Amino acid sequence: MQRLSGKRALVTGASSGIGAATAHLLAREGADVALLARGERGLAQVARRVHDEGASAITIAADVADRNALGQAVEQAAERLGGLDIVVVSAAASAFGTFREMPARDFDRCIAVAFGGAVDTIRAVLPHLEQTGGRLVVIGSAADVIPLPLLSPYVAAKHALTGFVRVLAAELRATNSAVTVSTIRPGAVDTPFLRHLTQPDGLRPPLIPPLVSYTADSVARAAVACAIRPRPSVCIGGSTLLLQAVSSAARPLLDRGVQRIARYWLDHAKPERAPNALWEPSGDGSLSGGQKGRPSVYAALRLARFRPRAGV
């Protein structure tokens, strides 16, 4: 049974990774989907997967950091779908390197995409979700409590996003709004995100994969589960919970580990060409970044009754 049959969804960052996987699963559950991202090539790939599930797909090329273009894109999606019942905020990008060496424009661009773009998306979609009593699902990150070395603007953006979403949820409850807000907080995820990091000189080092990373499908299934039955927050990965516990109970230990990771990356990296994904479209429809991610057993158990069917 398709549990979202007849629902109308909008997904940002839909041209690759978590956004692409979420769009596919929403379609599998019966929702028609508006796909929003900068790159038309990746959007076309994801739209084909949505169509293969028998759902309608609308592709809209827009930069979430461009407030006017984003607002027009949201209105276009709502008009063409006939309204919005579900919105998944997934767009993100980051610069890579030490804060001292990172150009200010790259730092600011990351904040504009990962935080400002999310806030502006939510501002634009709320009136539509208010009309339908809809579901808002925000893809956050465990980086809001776990410091990631050499990714300072991304960590800052996720900290800010978590705080903003918590305040928004409280305000909506206080005004008896029917809109629900859910945050998905994954740890390391195997997506093209790491391959698309922008370094100050236009190159990037080959990154050492994390010890444990999870599939984009694991995060997408949690996002769609919250569209089916909302819950305030879902953490992806038992290892993520462990790191959060260490961060709270033994912060000096975690900080030393983070320092060693940063030192290793800086000492052993060899530059290679990479797309400047902060400033140029990079999504090609792919879900994986080649890090051999695995499903999250913890998330699967927690969402057992409401998780969507696998298959992406």
Nearest one of 43, 33, 32, 41 to 11, comparing CA atoms: 33
The conformation of residue 34, written as its DSSP 8-state character, comes to E
With 0-12 CB in 10 A as exposed, 13-18 as middle and 19+ as buried, what is 251? exposed
Q: Is 264 a catalytic residue?
A: no
**C-alpha distances in Å from residue 70, one per residue of 28, 76, 113, 130, 192:** 26, 10, 11, 19, 23
User: DSSP letter at 96?
Assistant: -
Which of the following is catalytic: 154, 214, 264, 298? 154
The H-assigned helical ranges of 53-191 are 67-81, 104-111, 117-132, 152-174
Q: Give the separation between CA 233 and CA 184, rounded to whole angstroms.
A: 6
3-state secondary structure 190-211: ECCCHHHCECCCCEECCCCCCC
Three-state DSSP at 269 gives coil
Catalytic residues: 154
